[in-house]
């Protein structure tokens, strides 16, 4: 299993993209847009290591934990597994260990197969494979 990416909720997607590309040398992928969820994101790749996903939606809350939406800042980390079966197997194993499953295994709109679990303090961890 490899750390695949870290995700950050951002207020200004284009400004943050410029920072991570122009100041830190990352390379931005194409804009992903889900009009139904009013969600946009960029993956920023670096020469080595995990990528960063910059994510934006208009419902960002200014205060962590306050409804209606997520607060700006770190959102989740994602671990890349070899295939769909490993995602399913690890999700089952974690469930048996009484780890909270926040998102059942599924295909995402951007082409990943993933489940979401919560660590003991409630931080989101995506377990994913690329079909």
The first and second tokens of residue 74, run together, are 């770190």
Same domain, 109 and 50: no
The total of other beta-carbon atoms located within 10 Å of residue 106's CB is 11
The residue range of the domain holding 103 is 81-131
The residue out of 75, 94, 116 marking a domain boundary is: 75
**Where among 75, 91, 118 does a domain terminate?**
75
**Residue 64: pLDDT above 60?**
no
Are 69 and 110 part of one and the same domain?
no
97 CB-contact burial (10 Å; exposed 0-12 / middle 13-18 / buried 19+): exposed
Q: Tell me: the pLDDT tens digits for 10-27? A: 989 999 999 999 988 999
Residue 20, domain CATH: 3.10.180.10
Our count of domains for the chain comes to 2
**Per-residue DSSP letter, 116:** E
Element (H, E) at 79: strand 73-80
Same domain, 49 and 8: yes
Q: pLDDT tens-digit profile of 38-52?
A: 899 999 999 888 999
Q: How confident is the model at residue 70 (pLDDT cuts 50, 70, 90)?
A: confident
Q: What is the pTM of this model?
A: 0.76
Residues 65 and 110 in one domain: no
23-37, 74-88, 110-124: least confident range = 110-124
In this prediction, residue 60 carries a pLDDT of 79
Check residues 123 and 7 and name the one with the higher pLDDT. 7
């Amino acid at each position: 299993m490899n750390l695949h990416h870290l995700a950050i909720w951002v207020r200004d997607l284009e400004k943050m993209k410029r920072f991570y590309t122009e100041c830190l040398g990352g390379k931005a992928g194409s804009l992903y847009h889900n009009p139904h969820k009013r969600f946009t994101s960029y993956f920023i790749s670096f020469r080595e290591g995990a990528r960063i996903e910059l994510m934006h939606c208009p419902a960002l809350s200014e205060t962590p934990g306050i409804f209606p939406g997520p607060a700006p800042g770190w959102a989740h980390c994602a671990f890349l597994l070899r295939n769909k079966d490993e995602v399913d197997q690890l999700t089952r194993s974690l469930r048996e260990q009484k780890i909270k499953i926040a998102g059942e295994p599924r295909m995402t709109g951007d082409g990943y197969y993933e489940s979401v679990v919560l660590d003991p303090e409630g931080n989101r961890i995506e377990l994913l494979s690329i079909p």
